[in-house]
Amino acid sequence: MPRQITSFSNETVKRLRALRDKKARKSEGLFLAEGLRILAEARDSGRLPEIIAYSPAGGVHPLAAEIIADAESAGADVIETSPDILSKMSGKDNPQAILGAYRQPDTSLAAIDRTISPLWIVAQALRDPGNIGTILRTGDATGAGGLILIDDSADPFSVEAVRASMGAIFTQQVATARWDEFIPWLRSGPGQLVGTSLKTDKDYLNPVYERPCFLLIGNESQGLPEEYEAECDLLVKMPMLGRADSLNAAVAAAVMAFQVRASWRNS
């Protein structure tokens, strides 16, 4: 049976609320996902929340009721509460009617099995959690295995990243690593490291990319450091026909990921 929470100062309310901060996410090992669509994606990917909270209206939807029942069977803390208290938990004026706190997966490189997909996205020092979520969503669409975040990066388990991922946080593997950990790991198995650069004449449309392909995407403001470019097995250029010399990081990742897939159609 769900617990009823009616007090704003309840400890679980505070605890969920705190998950909006990276520090609390790290110490708890949990992260928040909001909205029925994302919770359903999680469940369909075999993931259930450790805490689930919903308003009476949010709990009556048949799919929500299923997820709540599944979570309860799995031992979750199940909480029915008011929209106002959900609003406090989520920090939003118009909160979703259901939210869950999920265990963060192992994000070590050792947990990545590169044989599960021919395509992986590697991003360096991304600062915008929305970009991280969008890249996860694109990774799902292009059948990537996951996203490897290099160096200091925004948190892939932040509320903004989870929301932008539209549930792909549950379907894509996520690892975080320093560059000098990543390279030995990469070179310990098969894989072509592909970067985009303005310094090459190789058009991105021409290669048939190797499998597995590791697409390396640079930071939003600086692009790839020179020594990272130098480590790439292949540098390609995306034509820039206007005044700008770069694309949004999530856009660059998507255009390249779709092109890598396209190159495999006829090969």
- The residue within the footprint of a copy of itself, chosen from 81, 90, 96, 138 (CB under 8 A), is 138
Task: Rank residues 110 and 205 by Cβ distance to a copy of itself and give the closer one.
Answer: 205
Instruction: State yes or no: residue 212 binds a copy of itself (CB under 8 A).
Output: no
CB of 169 to a copy of itself, least distance (A): 12
Instruction: State yes or no: residue 251 binds a copy of itself (CB under 8 A).
Output: yes
Task: Rank residues 135 and 232 by Cβ distance to a copy of itself and give the closer one.
Answer: 135
Q: Which stretch binds a copy of itself (CB under 8 A): 5-13, 21-29, 182-190, 252-260?
A: 252-260
Parallel, antiparallel, or unpaired: how do β-strands 173-177 and 146-150 relate? parallel
| Helix, strand, coil percentages for the chain (3-state, nearest 5) | 40, 20, 40
| 135-150 core/surface letters (b: 16 or more CB in 10 A; e: else) | bbbbbbebebbbbbbb
Residue keyed to tokens 């388990």: 157
Residues facing 173 on adjacent strands: 146
CB of 44 to a copy of itself, least distance (A): 7
Task: Rank residues 8 and 264 by Cβ distance to a copy of itself and give the closer one.
Answer: 264
- The residue within the footprint of a copy of itself, chosen from 25, 88, 114, 137 (CB under 8 A), is 137
- The residue within the footprint of a copy of itself, chosen from 171, 173, 176, 197 (CB under 8 A), is 171
Residue keyed to tokens 């992260």: 31
Q: DSSP assignment, residue 50?
A: S
Task: Rank residues 197 and 259 by Cβ distance to a copy of itself and give the closer one.
Answer: 259
Instruction: State yes or no: residue 153 binds a copy of itself (CB under 8 A).
Output: no
Packing angle of the helix pair 62-73, 36-44 (nearest 10 deg): 50
Tell me how far apart the alpha carbons of residues 197 and 212 are, in angstroms, rounded to a whole number. 20
**Whether residue 83 has a cis bond before it, omega within 30° of 0:** no
Residues facing 103 on adjacent strands: 30
- The residue within the footprint of a copy of itself, chosen from 130, 211, 229, 234 (CB under 8 A), is 130
Please report, as ranges, the residues that interact with a copy of itself according to CB under 8 A. Answer: 41, 44-45, 130, 134, 137-143, 164, 166-168, 171, 205, 238-244, 246-248, 250-251, 254-255, 258-259, 261-262, 265
